[in-house]
Structure formats: C-alpha cells, structure tokens
Structure 1
Amino acid sequence: MRGIHSAHTPGSIAVPGENLTRIEAQQRRTVVDTAEYDVVLDLTRGPEVFGSRSTVRFTATEGASTFIDLIAAQVHAITLNGTPIDTAAFADSRITLTGLAASNELVVDADCRYTNSGEGLHRFVDPVDGEVYLYSQFEVPDSRRVFAVFEQPDLKAGFQFTVTAPAGWKVVSNSPTPDPVADDHGAATWTFARTPRISSYITALIAGPYEATFSELTSSSGRVIPLGVYARKSLWQHMDADYIFDKTRQGFAYYESKFDYPYPFEKYDQLFVPEFNAGAMENAGAVTFTETYVFRSKVTDAVKERRVVTILHELAHMWFGDLVTMKWWNDLWLNESFAEWASTISTAEATEWTHAWTTFNAMEKSWAYRQDQLPSTHPVVATINDLEDVQVNFDGITYAKGGSVLKQLTAWVGIDAFFAGVAAYFAKHEWGNTELSDLLAELETTSGRDLSAWSKKWLETAGVNTLSPLIEDNADGVITRFAVVQTAPADYPTIRPHRLGIGFYDLEGDQLVRVHHVELDVDGDRTDVPELKGLKRPDLVLLNDDDLAYAKIRLDDRSLATAVAHLGKIADPLARALVWGAAWDQTRDAEASPSDYVDLVLGNIGAETESTTIRTTLSQLLLTATAYVAPEHRDHTRVRVADGLWALAQSAVAGSDAQLQLATTFAAAASTPSHWAQVQRLRDGEVTLPGLQIDTDLSWQLLISLAAGGLVTASDIDAALAADNTAKGGEFAAHAKAALPTHEAKQAAWDSLVNSDTLPNTVVRSAAAGFVNPAGVTLLESFVQPYFDMLLPVWNSRTYQIASYLITGLYPAPLADKALRDATRAWLAEHADAPAALRRIIAENLAGVERALSVQARDRQD
C-alpha cells in the first residue's frame, strides 16, 4: 500500500539516467529470465554507505546484450560468467551487459548509500537514545539502491539475503529470521533462506535494535504461521501488539476462506518503522507500517479504524500483488484497487468496525471523486510509459476509484461468483505475472457474464458521472414525473450504467426517516422511474442511497435546504455520509453557496457519530473558509467557523472522539487574537473541556496554532522540543517554526527545505505544511516567483519523494487568487518540455486554484 491517501507516495525520481520505459522493460524481458539472487549486505561500515555484493543467475538469449539496474556510491568489481568487466560499464544507474550466454552468473560488488528520504535503505537515528534503525522501501524502483537487480515486476526470482550487522540488532527479511553467527568484532551474520519466486520490489530488509513480540496462527493448510510485531525501543511502551495480532488473525481467516488459497509465505511480521512515507508496504511476509500507528497520545477513532483497514489492506496484498503480480505498472490497480476493496469488506465483515463502508464513502470515495476531476485523471487501467508515470499514479484513481468500481462489479456479477473467480485466478497464476484480461477471464467464467463492455466503460475510460434527480410535482406535492439525469464532463463523455438506490426521507418528529426506497439500473442520459410517480414528494431525495454506484450525486433545492437544517437527524450513518458528500460536491463544483456549506457543517456536525465523516467534513470546512469563500467574506467566515467550532467543542460529550476533533480543528481554524488567546488558555490549563486531556501530541497541535498566530517564539518551540526530544517532536517543531507569521521565519523554513537537502522526509513534509499555514497567507506572496524558480532544480536534484513533497507542499495554495493562477499557467506554458510527471503535479496545483476561484465567484452571487 502506498499513500494514504496520502497522497501519498514513495519511490525514486526518474532523473536523467534513472528512468526505465515500458518498452525497455518489455524488450529486456524478451532477452532475460531471472532465476535467483544471492545478496550479501554489510551494514557495519558506518553511517554513509553499506557493502552490497549481488550474485545474479539468469538465462538469456545467447549473444544478446542488456542491462541490470543499480544505484550505488561506487562499484568495485563486476564479473560476468567468470570474466571481469570494466567498472565503466556502470553508468546512469545501469550496468551494461554484452555477449550474454544461455545461462549466466553476474557478480557485482558495490558500496550503496543509506538514505533519509524513505527510499531504498533508510537510516534513522533515534534522538531519544541514539540507536540506529534501518528499513527498506523498494516500491517502485528502489531495490536497485541496495543491490544490482533487473528492476521490473515481471522478472521474478528467488532471493537469498545474507546480512552482517551489529550483533545486538534484530534483522528481518522475507524469509524467517535465522540464528545469527557472531564474529569477534561485535558483529553477526544472518543467512536467510531463499524466498519463493517474487518481484524485487516486495523484498525487504529491516534491521536495528527493534523490540519485538511473537505469536502464531494455524493456516487453513494446517501449517503454523509465526507472527511478529516490531517497533523501536523508545516507542515500545505504546505498542498494542495483542490488538494487532487479533486483527491479523481475523484477516487471515477471512481471506483464506474467501480466496480458497492458504497464506502463501512462511511467516508474517509487521514492523512499525520510523520516517515512513506511506501508510504501509506489502513486502512479502515482512510488512512495514508507519509508526504513526503506534499511538503515544489519544487518537481519533478515524485513525484507529484506518490502522485496521491498513493492516488488512497489506494482508490482502500477500495474495493480490505478492503471490500474483502485475506484469507492468499499468496494471498497478490489480494490486491496489483490489487491496482497497478487500480491506474494506473484510473490515466490515470480520472486525468490530462494521461501518467500514461508511468510512469508505467519506474518505476513499471523496478522494476518488476529487482525483477524477483533475486534469491528470486517467483510466483505472492507466497508461504507464515509464517509471516517472507510475510514481505519480499512486493516487485516488488507482486506489479509491478502483476499489469503488470493484464494489460495483461484485454487485453486478454477485459476490459468490466474484470470490470464486478470484480463487481460480490465484490457483491458475500463482507465483506468476498477469494483466487485466487474466482476471476478467476468470470472473467471466464464474459469473457467466461478458465483462468486455463493463471493462471498457469502467476501467479503460476516465471521468466521473453526475446523477441528478428530475422531479415534477403538482400543487398537492404529488410527484408527476421522476427521472435520473446523467451527465459526463466534456473531456470524458462516457455515459455509464449504474446500479443504485433512491431513498425518500421525511421529517418525523425529531428524525429524518427513510420512508421509501427503490433500487434500479440507470443507463443513458435520462432514466425515468415510473414507480415513484404518485408518491408524495419527500423532504429529502437521496440518489445512490446505500452507495452502490460510483458517481457524484446532486440534491435538489428542497433536499439541500432540508440537509442544511436537519442532516444530523438522519439515523443511518451511510445515508448521512452520502448527503455530506453530495453537499460538498455541489459546493466545490460552484453549484451551491460555500456559505450554505458552512451553515450545513456548523449546524449538523455536532450530531455526527462517524469519526471519519467528522474528520473529512471538518477538513472540507477549513478549505471552504480559507479558500472557497470570496476574499471579501473570508475574515468574517473564518471568525464564524472558529467561533462555531469552539462552541461545538464545549458542548460535545466529555472525552468523546468528536470533542477531540472539534478542539483540534478549532485550533487550526483560529484567526483572531481572541481565538489564539483561547488556544493558549486551553494549552496552559486555564480553560478546560471535561474529559479532554492535553497530552503530548495535542499540546503540540495547540502550539502550532499559537505559532501561526504569533503568540510564541522560536525559543518557545525549542523549549517544547527539549521536553519532547523525539522524532515526532522534531516533526511538530519543524511544523511550528515554519508556521511563525514573519518573513524571516518563512525564509528560514524555505532555506532549510529548498537550499539544503539534509532534512529527512517526514521533517520536510511537516515543515512544508507549516510554511503554507493560512494564518500567514499574505507572507506567501513574496515566495510565488521563488517557488517557480526552484521547480526544475529541485526535480532534477532530489529523490522523487522529497521533490514531490516540496513541489506539492510549498505551493502557495492558500493565496487562491488570480495572480497565483496566472503565474502557474505561465510556468506550464513556458515549460512544455518539462518532465511529464512534474507538469502533472503543477497542473494539479493549478486545478485547485482554478476551482477555488470558481467557487469564490459563486459566493459573490449570494
């Protein structure tokens, strides 16, 4: 899994010499077939480099030439079939190989570099105790930062790792950890058994003085599967390993039953590692997770549920992605969309988080709809020409839209037929590589349906449809006509079939109750629904009731007014999520007033019970207040939002999830001296909210708010860091210092990020977030030109992950004005030959500003 949605995504930048095209990979695959790797790593050579010796055995077309991938500090020796090769053959991240035999053995002896970007082999020094921790992150093309490798998913092999490291460390890889052999110099060597035939990007190495605890389970095959949970020493006291094991067992039982295929690897370790870029990564049998999932302070239920979904997402990958892998990255969705869907249905059906589909609607689907309306939208099955393309494609289409479409497919072919097809797919293609057609063939067999037309409309075309109700009624309020109108954007005009429900909701006492429901197939531009004729027009009409379809939905004027006044009175959390989403879509599409959206949220969020719905909605509220309302209304709106959030926090249930979210969002929304004074009193304990504990992380969040308001100094932030001298404290401190509302502070943050490359990935991300804090929006004007000046130098000199953090994070989006729009358009016009992946990021930044200006214009109409 990559992202979470985070957008996010690890990998390495395809700077000149580091790219690989799909055509090159296809050509290499016709020449080469890999058999096995022996990788010997020496982790005792100091803080900069480690020794890497790769022995690669492969067959080839006799007499042919090809290349193998490697990013290294220095190559000491290259030997092909016993004959030394001049090390000059290593250039531009490749080693050229000529005169291949039918059967080959290549040996490469090199020094490789540790990174602090979360790519390759990441090295972290814990500020708490000075201990060193390592972990690998190889997806997409970064195993080549650790050993010489044919870096493409369809050249699978067996991997044997031999690792020398300090004797007191734990060393974990894909195979079970062997007993180490100690030497006389404080080091030891671990020789791991060879893996099954897997792709290089899911190999793994995690090493350091990690704490660990172990358990086991019995697979459906009768094998005993060892389980492990790992984390840093200084975080171990917060590690709830028993809960992790419990969710893992539930996931194993669910997947082995539904997939009709036993867990394919020998053991299952879950390692929570520092400075991780994504939510987690599906290394075979050795899954790495962000250690933000080790909770040292109180977190929301949204985060707790997200951790469960992530655990089950990565577990699903052991079958879908690791056992069976896509041939090339255009079928990345085969990995991620499936894992997204599978983790949601398993969370809903196998764990206590039974409302997982409501969470999916509030989080994943809102992400998908947003991504699908950007100029960079693409089909679920994307065109991936090279590594640059795939790096930016870990997005809301690949994950969330793909997961949504699979949910719809299961409804269409039937869930039993779907799982039967998946089981046949695993059995037929185990340890191999596949394309879209391979999966569809099995699903067609088990369901008896032709999926070619479905695939073309849903997987091979881009864009999201909009469904609107057309309602005519008479003077008595009786419906005389009801139809569902479907539209598509001009650039992506596909009209698609949808299976959906239509719900009628009426106010009955203190509840907004569903009084009628129909389910039907919708296709074409307009679908009449005659069975709704003759019914009384309800207070609220909800298209896509039960959330079967992937489409934006519209509320008619009467329904929107009902929602603004009474949304919190709907009992069903999924129905509420759908209404929240519809109101948001209409707002960001400039079809409804942003001021009405503010009214909707402030009037109804206090009654919302679903943590992720609250989280998503409050984030959208802040964006509305800071960028979507017209500039002349902004100050008033920001005051109204912060005042409203504080009032809601005061009236929230003591110690509740909602109270925590409302309090932290109030701090983020603060915009006046009186707001920041209240934040100060809350942090100092002069004002209390019953049940709200100002723990370490909440104290930092309040301090960031005070920094943005100019109520604290850099020295105050340093003092807070001294009291919490941890990796997380360092990230919070960087965020707070960059948020200070002075030009000097902004320039210092800019220099540390752009003019220096020493900061680790998570600090880069945090400092960038502080830099663009909306409280200091006017200070960003002087950084518009420097932003565009730095784009190409940063893109060409940093790893992909760091470059993407800087280019996305430092974009002065809070300005949301015509000057920023024009400057962004001008850069794109003047740099038509810039790398496509870089232009995509800038075009997405531009789309956000253009949308904000459109909504601002709508706001002026009211």
Structure 2
Amino acid sequence: MPGTNLTREEAQERARLLAVDSYEIELDLSSAQGGGTAAPGGPDDGEGIFRSVTTIRFTAREAGDTFADLIAPAVREVTLNGTSLDPAEVFADSRIALRGLAAGPQELRVVADCAYTNTGEGLHRFVDPVDGQAYLYTQFEVPDARRVFANFEQPDLKATFQFTVRAPEGWTVISNSPTPRPEGTLWRFAPTPRISTYITALIAGPYHAVHSTWEDKRGLSEAQSAGGGGGRRAGRSVPLGIYCRPSLAEYLDAEALFEVTRQGFDWFQDKFDYPYPFEKYDQLFVPEFNAGAMENAGAVTIRDQYVFRSKVTDAAYEGRAETLLHELAHMWFGDLVTMEWWNDLWLNESFATYTSIACQAHAPGSRWPHAWTSFANQMKTWAYRQDQLPSTHPIMAPIRDLDDVLVNFDGITYAKGASVLKQLVAYVGMDEFFQGVRAYFKRHEWGNTRLADLLGALEETSGRDLKTWSKAWLETAGINVLRPELTTDADGTLTALAIRQEAPALPAGATGEPTLRPHRLGVGFYDLRDGKLVRTDSVELDVDGELTEVPLPKARKRPDVLLLNDGDHTYAKVRLDADSLAVVTRHLGDFADPLPRALCWASAWDMTRDGELATRDYLDLVLTGVGKESDIGLVQSLQRQVKLALDLYAAPDWRDAGLTRWAEATLEQLRAARPGSDHQLAWARAFSAAARTDAQLDLLAALLEGGEYLEGLTVDTELRWAFLQRLAATGRADEAQISAELARDATSAGERHAAAARAARPTPEAKAEAWSAVVESDALPNAVQEAVISGFVQTDQRALLAPYTERYFAAVKGAWEERSHEMASQIVVGLYPALHVEQRTLEATDAWLASAQPSAALRRLVTESRAGVERALRAQAADEAAGAPR
C-alpha cells in the first residue's frame, strides 16, 4: 500500500518537532458480533467496519509541518486545534497532513471508519466455529496501531493512552490498564503510563478468564525503594489474568501457567531490582496469531496453540514457558525502557530471549534447569543459519525504514543477540551485568534509549571498556569458526594446545568484512569412563586473534574428546579434531551431561549443512546416538534435522534409500520407546512424517482407525490429524475421510488441519485448488492460508509441484504489493520452489531478481530462499562424493 512506509529520517524529524502528551481513543465495536470479517484491504460496504475517534494532545517545539498516521477505508472528520479540515485534502497515502503548525500545544481529533482484518494485523476478528461467537484482538508491532486509531507511529513518541470501548453485550474488554466495571456496554479504561503505540492493546469478546495474583514477598533494595522505580516495598500484589476462548477452556492449564509466571516475577524482580511497571498482568491466548506472543504492556497476547488440546512432550512445555518468560521480561526491557528506533530492536528481543532462558536455567524450583541445552541446539542453530545467508547483518542492524524492520525479526536479532549477551555475561560477570541493567532501568524509566545507554551502564558496573567488544560483536556481521590444534608426544601425552579462529568470507551479496572477534570460552577435556564420556579437566580463557595458546591444566594424555566452547558461552561454529570426531561418532549419546551432547549434535548438523559431513554420514551418526539421547528436546530437533537433510541435502540417487532407512528407524524407535513416554509420542510423530511403504502406511491407517494399538500411545486429536495428513499426502486418504475427521473435530484447529490435508493430496486438482485459494484469492484468514501452504508443499511431490515454479515467479511480486506484510510473506517464503534443488531454480530466481525490480524487503526474502537452494546443491554434491566408489 503506497505511503505506509516510514523512513528513519522522517521519524527523526517528527520526533525533533513534536512531544506527544496523550491519546484518547473511542472505539465502537458493537457491530463486531454480527459483521463479516474484512478482507485485508478493508471493505467498501460498511461490513467489517468499526468507528474510531482519536484525540491526540501534543506540543510542537517550533512552527512547521508534520503528519499523523492512519490506515483506514474512510476518514470522516479531521479537526486540528478546533479547525475542521477537509479529509479529502489532508488524508492521503495513509497519512494525515498537519500543515502550518504554530509552536505550542496542539489538539488533533480524527474520526474514521477502520476495518477489522483477518490477517493478524491491526484489529483481527475471528469467529469460533464451536460457538459462533466473534473474538477480537490487536497486534500492532511494528506499525499497525494506525489500523485502529490515528497516531504518530514510532517508538520514541511515547504518550499516555486512554481507551473507551463500546462492545456487544456479554463481552469482556481487556486493555493495558486494569479492566473497569462496564457501564452497560461501555468500557472506560484509565490512562496508561507513557508507552509507545506498538505496545498498546485491545482484546474483546466473550473470553473465558481465570484470575490470580503474584505476591511480592521480597521487595526491592533499600536504595531502589528510596530512589525511584515506584518505591514499592515487599507486600505489593499484582493481579494476574489468563484468558482464552470458552471452546479451549477445558484444556487451559491455568495453574501451570501461573506457576511459570510467578517464577518469572520472582526472578526478574530479584535480578532487575525494579518493580513490575504496570498495574496488572494479563496473558491472553488468542486465535490465528502470527507470532509466538506479543509484549503489549500488561496485556500480553499469545498464540492459542499454546493451550495444548492433546498430549505434547515436555519440550513443548519448556518452549511455552520460554515464551511466557520472554514476554514478561519485555515489561521492563522494551515497555518500560524502549529503543529509540528499530535499529536497536535487538535491545528488546535479545535481552528478553537471554533473560527468559537464564530464568529457566537458574530460577529456584525451575522445571528446566537444562534450558541452555535447548538454547544451544535450537535457538543458536537458527542464528547460525541466519548468519550465513546473504542477508546477514550486524546485531545492531541498519534500519532505514519500516520495510527493513518488518523482515528483521530474525535469528540474528533474537538468537544471535541473546548468544552475544550470554558471551557478555561471561565476559563481565553475571552480578556486574545485572547491576548495570538495574542502573539502566532506573536512569531511563519510561524513556527511549540507544545502544550507548546500555553499554555505558554496563561499563560503569563492570569496569570494562566495552567499545571494542561492541564494535566486534554488535556492529559486524558473520560468524567465526574455532578449531583445536593439538600436539602430542610419542606416548600420547598432550604437549601443546591452541585454538585457531577463522573468519570466513561473508556470503555473496552481504555487506561488511570478515571479522576476528574476542571470545570468552571453556575448553572441556572428556574421557570415556565406564562407558560414559565425562569431563575430566577444563580451562576457561579469552580467545582473540587468529591463534590463541591454551594453558594446559596439567600433564596428561590427550583426552578422548576435546570440546571447544564447553559450557556454550560464546557464539561461534566449533569443529572437533579428527580423533575427537571419531570418538563422538561412536559415543555421542554417551556424554554424561546434556549440554556437551547438544554442542556436538549442533556441530554435526552445522557440518552437514556446510557439506563437511555427508548426509548419509549424519544419518549414521544420528542413528548411532539418538536412541541413547534422554533430552526430548534434542530428540525432536534431531528428528526434524534428519528429515530436512534427507529431503534437501541427500544426493538424489540415494535419497530414497536414506528416507527408507529413516522410516524404518522411526518405527523401530517407536516400538522400543517406553509406553506413555515423551519419547514414544515424539517417535510416533516422526514415524507419521516418514512413513512411505505400503506396510508402514497400513500401520498408520490402522493406528488411526483403531485396528492397531501400541501400549501407552494415545492417538488423540492432534496425533490423529498428523496421521491423516500423511495418509492424504500419499493418496491413502480422500476428501470423505478428511471431512469425517473435521466432523469429529469441528473447531478452528480442525479447519486448519483439514485445509492442510486437502492441499497435501497428490493430485493436480488438489494442487490447483490450493494454489488458487492462496495466490489467486485473498479470502483466506492468515492461519488457514498458512495451513494450505504447508499442505501444498510436500517433499515427495516434486514432479507434481514442478509447474508451479514458473507460476511462482509470475505471481510473487503482485502478491507482495497487493497483500499485507504478513500474508505476502507467507506466500513469498512458503511457496518458493525450495524443493527443486537444481541449477535452473537458481537461474530462474536470478532472472526474476534482474527483471522484477523488487523492493528491498521482497528481494531479501527471495534471496534468502535462493541461498537455501544453493546450500542444498553443495550439500548434495558432498553426499554424492561420499557415496562414490573409493
């Protein structure tokens, strides 16, 4: 949509000119229960429209011109300082022109017809098929508050927000301020503290609620109580609320959610020494949510797939807890203190990610003391992948405009940033780190900051000069490789050890230069004792430059395994020496502790992606060790990675053999797993994704229909859909069976699963229907579109999907320009012909890039997908070479 972008220069000029005081926002949602859901662009006939009235009080520091932001089908009135302006003259390209402002106080009133969306942006409207009721929620990050009310849409123009909402009878309305007692159908909320537009929120509908409190038994340090931050001592009680749709209420494990939340409150207040900044804390599980969750101040929205309808493994509960703690951390880092502009987005996201994992790992009574193991194997793997794409960028990324930031919620901003913070904590010390954080919160409460503000506080408390560290870690792109160099004498005694650091060239198209960085890391010495690999020595040191000598702990024989980055303090690709790799290949599952196992698994996966380890050898490694792996999160990561490697990185002429071997292994592990265990459930899901022979598919069908039974395995709703979708993809389930399953599960989740199953069917007609629904129509809601895309792309249907490569390149630019960001991104990434690992896919992509003149954001997404094909071609060549006669 023209005019929806905002450059950093425009934002800086507007912030220089204006200081914003307050918003009063009146929304009439009384027709929401009966009106239809709007198409992404908003309808013309009044259906799916709500009335929005906004009054903004602000100050112009000097005379000048500026603008307010609004995306709306129609603007009825614009009044500036009591003077009525013609909307036809001042509203264009999603901006309201404010010309000729005199210096001093200003008041802007805007009356508009705004549109509900079905895209998960702005004010999303969803109708639950179970009860026929409508449910609303807002999602405003990055620039979508302007879809609901007129505003100055940038993070550094903070203000107070007072919402007044008219809603259908029987609804509950939740916002950032405590929920008031309604006056009939009118809800008047108190003003918020000074916050940014993107963390305001409104959730409305007949939601189910459970309430509790967090009791502050500790209080704050005497200095903090006396010096600021609200001055609250022990005894404060914070109201807690958990909400979901009534159709999910039977599955809502509220007490478990409250337990994690209270654990976070206790640990964060201890570490931050700053009181929770808002008056209450609600967590709302909402439908068709695009992200994992959103840190709206005091009213966090969370995807309702986290209300588990069926049995899940403990890894799913761990992942959910990390999300809850991540958003809670944002109440301080992001909401209380907010980045000035989006180039410092990492200040929000990296900090929230680091502290959420640290809370899980260190909080007393945590169920997940090995949270850093999951981080090493999942989050850091995401970061390593992202950091090797042509779009790699510094953690502190240059953000020119909103288009840039919309594609920058990536593995660098979240996972690499959190890894670097973990490295910083190892560098300065945890106590010193959090002392700096405390000073930062107190100094900048309710304000906006830049990187220098945080580093300055950390320098004060740690006594270290962080400017060089910052330049190397936060202002440069790319990843280092660390390799050990060992020397032994004739009897095998280790006589010298060094760490060689490499800075590989950045990917083609990336900007910047390779950089050698300082690392604080551990070196672990592991030996086989009674069949277990146990740490027998360790050294912690600073690594800098190309070669760093490691002081040996004592005279000793070389260890069976020498592991760099033991403890996972730094961010780097780590390689094993040849002897260590040989031992790990035979004994990876025999590490006594889960973290070194995770580091070795991650190194093996990275070597596979880099073509240093053939896919067939990676499969051998996994099959040797996965049966001994106790950490269920690691098991599930390995299952995903093996399937991806076989689908994309295996030599084409060996792929079927590899997939067959994997399918047989998943069934073997399923039958061997302890009945009722997490491992049994994980292997059941892995088997359902891998089954390929007639006998395997017969078993899948029999498990679904009840003709076969595995002790301890409950084939519940979600597992039934997993089985059915695989049967549909292999032509073993037809429309009648899909419809029958949907009748059993007539819910929104069932509708998504059925849409995926229909799109997965291996017929030209099914593919054409799915393509048309996604690309040629914009009627699908965001969650259903995502499901159709996931079903459409089946790895064993390459021939059936081949004609869609040309159609993709013919349609992708139009989809990007005509759809909202979320909907277009699903199409651009999800339908890219990534399965066609061929030179002609690269050539088709290059031809399109040369001729289509895509925007920078669209170019980035397509180029990232292209890089995946290029990497897969290299990995396939390595796998083919490994299988060649020698």
TM-score, normalization: structure 2?
0.94
Kindly indicate whether the alpha-carbon contact (under 8 Å) linking 1:606 and 1:658 is maintained by their aligned counterparts in 2. no
Letter in 1 for 2:762: P
CA distance in structure 2 between the partners assigned to 1:659 and 1:486 by the alignment: 41
Q: 1:269 aligns with which of 271, 282, 291?
A: 282
Deviations 1:315-358 (A, max 9, x none): 10000000000000000011000000010111112222111111
CA distance in structure 2 between the partners assigned to 1:548 and 1:228 by the alignment: 36
| 2:45 pairs with 1:30 | no
| 2:821 pairs with 1:835 | no
SS of match in other structure, 2:123: strand
State the partner residue of 1:518: 539
State the partner residue of 1:231: 244
State the partner residue of 1:56: 56
Which structure exhibits the higher relative contact order, with contacts defined as CA atoms closer than 8 Å and separated by 6 or more residues? Answer: 1
State the partner residue of 2:864: 844
CA distance in structure 1 between the partners assigned to 2:630 and 2:51 by the alignment: 53
* Bigger shift: residues 654-663 or 797-806: 654-663
Kindly indicate whether the alpha-carbon contact (under 8 Å) linking 2:19 and 2:61 is maintained by their aligned counterparts in 1. no
CA distance in structure 2 between the partners assigned to 1:511 and 1:416 by the alignment: 34
CA distance in structure 2 between the partners assigned to 1:816 and 1:348 by the alignment: 40
Letter in 2 for 1:207: A
State the partner residue of 1:348: 361
| 2:113 pairs with 1:100 | no
Kindly indicate whether the alpha-carbon contact (under 8 Å) linking 1:504 and 1:540 is maintained by their aligned counterparts in 2. yes
CA distance in structure 2 between the partners assigned to 1:548 and 1:63 by the alignment: 52
State the partner residue of 1:581: 602
CA distance in structure 2 between the partners assigned to 1:169 and 1:390 by the alignment: 35
State the partner residue of 1:371: 386
Tell me by how many angstroms 1:824 deviates. Answer: 1.6
Kindly indicate whether the alpha-carbon contact (under 8 Å) linking 1:163 and 1:191 is maintained by their aligned counterparts in 2. yes
CA distance in structure 2 between the partners assigned to 1:614 and 1:85 by the alignment: 63
| 2:567 pairs with 1:546 | yes
CA distance in structure 1 between the partners assigned to 2:393 and 2:197 by the alignment: 27
Tell me by how many angstroms 1:535 deviates. Answer: 3.0
Tell me by how many angstroms 1:532 deviates. Answer: 6.6
State the partner residue of 1:148: 150
Q: Alignment length, in residue pairs?
A: 842
* Bigger shift: residues 833-842 or 816-825: 816-825
CA distance in structure 2 between the partners assigned to 1:630 and 1:472 by the alignment: 37
SS of match in other structure, 2:753: helix
State the partner residue of 1:556: 577
Tell me by how many angstroms 1:472 deviates. Answer: 3.2
CA distance in structure 2 between the partners assigned to 1:821 and 1:672 by the alignment: 33
TM-score, normalization: structure 1?
0.96
State the partner residue of 1:124: 126
CA distance in structure 2 between the partners assigned to 1:517 and 1:686 by the alignment: 54
CA distance in structure 1 between the partners assigned to 2:348 and 2:461 by the alignment: 21
State the partner residue of 2:228: none
Alignment map for 1:625-644 (pairs within 5 Å): 625-644=646-665
Q: 1:699 aligns with which of 704, 720, 725?
A: 720
State the partner residue of 1:410: 425
State the partner residue of 2:401: 386
Q: 2:319 aligns with which of 273, 288, 306?
A: 306
Kindly indicate whether the alpha-carbon contact (under 8 Å) linking 2:680 and 2:713 is maintained by their aligned counterparts in 1. yes
Alignment map for 1:346-495 (pairs within 5 Å): 346-350=359-363, 351-491=366-506, 492-495=513-516
CA distance in structure 2 between the partners assigned to 1:765 and 1:178 by the alignment: 37
CA distance in structure 2 between the partners assigned to 1:604 and 1:683 by the alignment: 30
State the partner residue of 2:44: none
* Bigger shift: residues 615-624 or 138-147: 615-624
State the partner residue of 1:194: 191
| 2:687 pairs with 1:666 | yes
Letter in 1 for 2:335: D
SS of match in other structure, 2:64: coil
Kindly indicate whether the alpha-carbon contact (under 8 Å) linking 1:564 and 1:596 is maintained by their aligned counterparts in 2. no
CA distance in structure 2 between the partners assigned to 1:49 and 1:147 by the alignment: 13
State the partner residue of 1:329: 342
CA distance in structure 2 between the partners assigned to 1:506 and 1:771 by the alignment: 48
For structure 2, the 5+ residue unaligned runs are: 37-47, 220-231, 507-512
Identity of aligned residues (%): 57
CA distance in structure 2 between the partners assigned to 1:139 and 1:555 by the alignment: 42
* Bigger shift: residues 540-549 or 622-631: 540-549
SS of match in other structure, 1:493: coil
Deviations 1:769-794 (A, max 9, x none): 11111121221111000011111100
Letter in 1 for 2:310: S
Kindly indicate whether the alpha-carbon contact (under 8 Å) linking 2:522 and 2:541 is maintained by their aligned counterparts in 1. yes
CA distance in structure 2 between the partners assigned to 1:817 and 1:477 by the alignment: 47
Residues 532 and 218 of structure 1: is their aligned pair in 2 closer, same or farther, counting only changes over 3 Å? closer
Kindly indicate whether the alpha-carbon contact (under 8 Å) linking 2:538 and 2:553 is maintained by their aligned counterparts in 1. no
* Bigger shift: residues 484-493 or 756-765: 484-493
Deviations 1:273-323 (A, max 9, x none): 000011110000000101011011001211100111111111100000000
Residues 24 and 311 of structure 1: is their aligned pair in 2 closer, same or farther, counting only changes over 3 Å? same
SS of match in other structure, 1:152: coil
Kindly indicate whether the alpha-carbon contact (under 8 Å) linking 2:539 and 2:551 is maintained by their aligned counterparts in 1. no
Tell me by how many angstroms 1:578 deviates. Answer: 0.4
Letter in 2 for 1:91: A
Tell me by how many angstroms 1:533 deviates. Answer: 8.4
Letter in 2 for 1:794: A
State the partner residue of 1:683: 704
CA distance in structure 2 between the partners assigned to 1:688 and 1:775 by the alignment: 28
CA distance in structure 2 between the partners assigned to 1:518 and 1:25 by the alignment: 49
Tell me by how many angstroms 1:670 deviates. Answer: 2.2
CA distance in structure 2 between the partners assigned to 1:438 and 1:595 by the alignment: 50
* Bigger shift: residues 332-341 or 252-261: 252-261
State the partner residue of 1:185: none
Deviations 1:526-546 (A, max 9, x none): 112251785322332211111
State the partner residue of 1:209: 206
CA distance in structure 2 between the partners assigned to 1:305 and 1:145 by the alignment: 34
SS of match in other structure, 1:481: strand
Kindly indicate whether the alpha-carbon contact (under 8 Å) linking 2:162 and 2:189 is maintained by their aligned counterparts in 1. yes
Deviations 1:150-189 (A, max 9, x none): 000000000000000012000000000111111xxxxx00
Kindly indicate whether the alpha-carbon contact (under 8 Å) linking 1:255 and 1:316 is maintained by their aligned counterparts in 2. yes
SS of match in other structure, 2:803: helix
For structure 1, the 5+ residue unaligned runs are: 1-14, 183-187
CA distance in structure 2 between the partners assigned to 1:300 and 1:542 by the alignment: 30
Tell me by how many angstroms 1:474 deviates. Answer: 4.2
CA distance in structure 2 between the partners assigned to 1:828 and 1:726 by the alignment: 41
State the partner residue of 2:25: 39
State the partner residue of 1:858: 878
